[in-house]
Structure 1
Amino acid sequence: MTQSLTIARPDDWHLHLRDGAMLAAVLPETARHFARAIIMPNLVPPVVTGADAAAYRARILTALPDGMHFEPLMTLYLTEHTDPADIRAAAASGLVRALKLYPAGATTNSASGVRDFDKIRPVLDTMAEIGLPLCIHGEVTDPDIDIFDREAIFIDRVLDPIRSATPGLRVVMEHITTANGVDYVKANDTDLGATITTHHLIINRNHILVGGIKPHYYCLPVAKREEHRLALRAAATSGDTRFFLGTDSAPHPDHLKENACGCAGCFTATNTMALLAHVFEEENALNRLEAFASRNGPAFYRLPVNAQTLTLTKSDTPTAFPAGIRAGDDTVTVFDPGFPVYWDVS
Structure 2
Amino acid sequence: MAQSVTIRRPDDMHLHLRDENTLRTVLPYTVRQFGRAIVMPNLKPPVTTVAAARAYRERILAAVPAGASFEPLMTAYLCDNTDPEEISRGFNERVFTAVKLYPAGATTHSEYGVTCTSKVEKVLDVMQELGMPLLIHGESTEAGVDVFDKEAVFLDDVLKPLLEKFPALKVVLEHITTEQAADFVDADRSGRLAATITPQHLLLNRNAMFTGGLRPHYYCLPVLKREQHRLALRRVATSGSSSFFLGTDSAPHERGAKEAACGCAGIFSAPTALEAYLTVFEQENALDRFEAFASENGRRFYGLPPNEGTVTLTRERNDAPRSISPGDNKSIETFMGGGELSWRVSEERAS
The answer to whether the 8 Å contact 1:173/1:193 transfers is yes
* TM-fit CA distance, 1:2: 7.3
Matches within 5 A, 1:232-251: 232-251=233-252
Matches within 5 A, 1:192-271: 192-271=193-272
Matched to 2:94, the amino acid is G
From the superposition, tell whether residues 277 and 305 of structure 1 become closer, same or farther in structure 2 (CA, over 3 Å). Answer: same
- 1:343 corresponds to which residue? 343
Once residues 4 and 210 of structure 1 are traced to their aligned partners in structure 2, the CA distance between those partners, rounded to angstroms, is 33
Once residues 304 and 189 of structure 1 are traced to their aligned partners in structure 2, the CA distance between those partners, rounded to angstroms, is 23
Instruction: Find runs of 4+ consecutive structure 1 residues off by over 3 angstroms.
Output: 337-340
Identity score, percent: 56
- 2:291 corresponds to which residue? 290
Q: What is the total number of aligned residue pairs between the two structures?
A: 344
- 2:276 corresponds to which residue? 275
Once residues 272 and 184 of structure 1 are traced to their aligned partners in structure 2, the CA distance between those partners, rounded to angstroms, is 25
- 1:32 corresponds to which residue? 32
Matches within 5 A, 1:294-305: 294-305=295-306
- 1:319 corresponds to which residue? 318
* TM-fit CA distance, 1:230: 0.4
Deviation string for 1:69-89 (max 9, x for gaps)? 110000000001111111111
Deviation string for 1:144-186 (max 9, x for gaps)? 0000000000000001111111110000000000000011101
1:147 partner SS: coil
* TM-fit CA distance, 1:37: 0.2
The answer to whether the 8 Å contact 1:78/1:101 transfers is yes
1:73 partner SS: strand
Matched to 1:322, the amino acid is P
Once residues 104 and 148 of structure 1 are traced to their aligned partners in structure 2, the CA distance between those partners, rounded to angstroms, is 18
1:148 partner SS: coil
1:38 partner SS: strand
The answer to whether the 8 Å contact 2:319/2:338 transfers is no
Matched to 2:74, the amino acid is M
- 1:129 corresponds to which residue? 129
Once residues 305 and 35 of structure 2 are traced to their aligned partners in structure 1, the CA distance between those partners, rounded to angstroms, is 12
Deviation string for 1:75-133 (max 9, x for gaps)? 00000111111111110111111000000000000000011211100000000000000
- 1:49 corresponds to which residue? 49
2:90 partner SS: helix
Deviation string for 1:208-264 (max 9, x for gaps)? 023211000000000000000000011111110000000000000001111111100
The answer to whether the 8 Å contact 1:202/1:337 transfers is no
From the superposition, tell whether residues 231 and 339 of structure 1 become closer, same or farther in structure 2 (CA, over 3 Å). Answer: farther
Once residues 14 and 226 of structure 2 are traced to their aligned partners in structure 1, the CA distance between those partners, rounded to angstroms, is 23
1:224 partner SS: coil
Which stretches in structure 1 are left out of the alignment for 5+ residues?
none
From the superposition, tell whether residues 214 and 325 of structure 1 become closer, same or farther in structure 2 (CA, over 3 Å). Answer: same
The answer to whether the 8 Å contact 1:278/1:343 transfers is yes
Once residues 114 and 215 of structure 2 are traced to their aligned partners in structure 1, the CA distance between those partners, rounded to angstroms, is 30
Which stretches in structure 2 are left out of the alignment for 5+ residues?
347-351
Q: TM-score, normalised by structure 1?
A: 0.97
Q: TM-score, normalised by structure 2?
A: 0.96
* TM-fit CA distance, 1:336: 2.1
Once residues 74 and 157 of structure 2 are traced to their aligned partners in structure 1, the CA distance between those partners, rounded to angstroms, is 28
CA RMSD of aligned residues (A): 1.3
From the superposition, tell whether residues 283 and 2 of structure 1 become closer, same or farther in structure 2 (CA, over 3 Å). Answer: closer
Deviation string for 1:281-314 (max 9, x for gaps)? 1100011110110000001001112121000111
